């Protein structure tokens, strides 16, 4: 139960006479009862009219009794209409479920909310939203509902507040703008239970599944333009914004503009519009799902990510694409973002336990997979190509991905390099390499990556080395290094940009013929049993 007292009478009288809907009147009277806002428009209007007719000398508050709202089934059985052919909001039902501008002679469009707390609270619109959600075929167990309102609503609300404040000031009563119930809040009070009942899941502010409605009102689009002249500093062009008249910019200007300047440009209370708002968009969006694992790369002709130069694709596929293609199909996602613990060159293999990776699947329709389904998905990826293999494929959280990047430069990696020398070598010529520990390198950004990496000198460590003699011009070098070490440059020296290097240590020209990553020592993601 909620009540209006005598101090609310001037607010009700003023707003009702200027075309404000009952729910907006309750907002300006600072009524916080959610159940009261869910009552039918006709009942609220009747209660407000009876409140005004009651004796002004009566000191006891007049109560607006709140009964339990009628169930959806009952409303649907009666077609959502009263005996006089109007719906619960007192508006004539429209053929397009309230999604377009409508002019009603029975009830004026509210001069403050522009019909949002009228037509768009009705069962027809709720069903339209739910049909959109169901047709999008998302998996979800709860939802969060968001609303995008046209910025001119803030101007109209400000105008209504100034008008009411002046009325209250004449009576010696204060009315702080912050005390008024926000339109979005009142709308969600009304719409949440209806959406929850229709969708069969609860509303939850922390849900990753979002249902959003974008409202617009073309008839009044220009109502905030005067603010750009009065407060030009508040309206600055921004990237990805089609108009400078964003809701936040308008609110900032309204906080800055003087009352007298506002009143020169805008009526208080605001005039009644002819048309309802338009529900421009009804959108669904699921929070991202994250999949992690480790991959082995067996090809020396496969880049980690698509290799495209000047718009031209150099190779037909990549590690990223071979893994993500199947994931995108199974999760029914809009897009993806691939990341990994380091990267290998196109001609480098990744062996051993593989390289940790994670994929963010954006706006997935399907989000629930059992461990067995993930195993089958992993097998499907592995069967699709002989160039890669995936292991330990699993669902992870966004926070867990951070472990893959934690202390990345402190991690170690092991490599196997096939090396050629111009001068003949014997076993004893390379034996000393086995005894070198914690060799400190200074590596200038390699010439081959200078186009995409800043020029810098990086200190890196070669922890251990072990050389295997093959013949007079070839040997294999096993290295354990600090992550981020450029191995190819350590072998050939990159024209002296990496010091020391294998060539300088052996006092001869050396080059690398093959390189394999044998391990990436990152203890993530967790190993799964077969």
List the catalytic residues: 345
Find the DSSP H helices in 280-397. Answer: 319-331, 371-383
**Which is it for the CA torsion 80, 84, 85, 88, positive or negative?**
negative
Cross-strand partners of 440 = 461
Alpha-carbon gap, residue 202 to 417, rounded angstroms: 58
CA gyration radius for the chain? 34
% helix, strand, coil for the chain, step of 5 = 35, 25, 40
Alpha-carbon gap, residue 509 to 444, rounded angstroms: 19
Neighbours of 391 (CB within 10 A): 16
Alpha-carbon gap, residue 211 to 415, rounded angstroms: 49
**Which is it for the CA torsion 394, 398, 403, 404, positive or negative?**
positive
Please spell the DSSP secondary structure of 436-472, one letter per residue. Answer: -EEEEEEEEPPGGGTTTS---EEEEEEEEEEEEEEET
Alpha-carbon gap, residue 46 to 39, rounded angstroms: 11
Is there a contact between 520 and 356 (Cβ–Cβ < 8 Å)? yes
DSSP-derived 3-state class of residue 146: strand
Is there a contact between 362 and 421 (Cβ–Cβ < 8 Å)? no
Alpha-carbon gap, residue 240 to 32, rounded angstroms: 37
Beta-strand ranges (E) seen in 25-170 are 62-64, 144-148
Which 3-state string (H, E, C) describes 116-129?
A: CCCHHHCHHHHHHH
Find the DSSP H helices in 143-246. Answer: 152-170, 183-199, 226-230
Tokens of 422: 């111009």
Tokens 């440059």 correspond to 489
């Amino acid at each position: 139960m909620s009540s209006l007292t005598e101090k609310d009478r001037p607010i009700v009288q003023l707003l009702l006479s200027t075309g404000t809907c009952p729910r907006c009147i309750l907002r300006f009277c600072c009524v916080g009862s959610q159940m009261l806002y869910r009552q039918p428009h006709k009942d609220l209007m009747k209660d407000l009219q009876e409140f005004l007719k009651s004796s002004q000398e009566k000191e006891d508050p007049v109560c607006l009794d709140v009964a339990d709202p009628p169930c959806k089934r009952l409303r649907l059985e009666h077609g959502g209409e009263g005996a006089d052919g109007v719906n619960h909001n007192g508006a004539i039902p429209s053929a397009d479920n309230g999604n377009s501008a409508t002019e009603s002679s029975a009830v004026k469009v509210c001069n403050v909310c522009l019909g949002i707390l009228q037509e768009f609270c009705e069962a027809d619109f709720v069903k339209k939203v739910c049909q959109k959600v169901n047709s999008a075929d998302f998996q979800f167990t709860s939802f969060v509902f968001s609303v995008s309102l046209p910025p001119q609503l803030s101007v109209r609300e400000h105008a209504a507040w100034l008008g009411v404040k002046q009325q209250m000031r004449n009576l010696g009563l204060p009315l702080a703008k912050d005390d008024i119930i926000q339109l979005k809040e009142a709308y969600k009070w009304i719409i949440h239970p209806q959406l929850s009942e229709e969708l069969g899941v609860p509303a939850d502010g922390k849900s990753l599944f979002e249902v959003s409605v974008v409202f617009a009102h073309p008839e009044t689009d220009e109502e905030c333009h005067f603010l750009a002249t009065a407060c030009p500093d508040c309206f600055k062009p921004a990237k990805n914004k089609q108009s400078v008249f964003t809701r936040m910019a308008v609110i900032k200007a309204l906080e800055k503009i003087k009352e007298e300047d506002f009143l020169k440009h805008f009526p208080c209370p605001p005039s009644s519009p002819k048309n309802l708002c338009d529900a421009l968009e009804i959108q669904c969006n699921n929070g991202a799902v994250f999949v992690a694992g480790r991959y082995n790369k067996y090809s020396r002709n496969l880049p980690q990510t698509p290799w495209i130069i000047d718009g031209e694709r150099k190779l037909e596929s990549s590690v990223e694409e071979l893994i993500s293609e199947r994931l995108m199909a199974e999760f029914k996602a809009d897009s993806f973002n691939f990341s990994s613990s380091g990267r290998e060159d196109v001609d480098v293999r990744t062996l051993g336990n593989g390289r940790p990776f994670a994929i963010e699947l954006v706006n997935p329709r399907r989000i629930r997979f059992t461990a067995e389904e993930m195993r089958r998905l992993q097998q499907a990826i592995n069967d699709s190509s002989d160039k890669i293999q995936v292991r330990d494929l699993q669902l992870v959280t966004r926070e867990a991905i951070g472990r893959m990047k934690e202390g990345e430069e402190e991690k170690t990696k092991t490599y196997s390099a096939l090396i050629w020398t111009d001068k003949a070598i014997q076993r004893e010529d390379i034996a000393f390499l086995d005894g070198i520990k914690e060799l400190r390198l200074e590596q200038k950004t390699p010439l081959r990556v200078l186009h995409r990496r800043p020029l810098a000198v990086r200190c890196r460590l070669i922890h251990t080395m072990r050389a295997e003699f093959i013949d007079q011009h070839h040997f294999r070098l096993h290295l354990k290094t600090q992550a981020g070490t450029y191995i190819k440059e350590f072998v050939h020296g990159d024209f002296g940009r990496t010091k020391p290097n294998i060539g300088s240590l052996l006092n001869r020209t050396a080059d690398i013929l093959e390189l394999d990553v044998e391990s990436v020592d990152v203890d993530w993601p967790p190993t799964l049993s077969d």
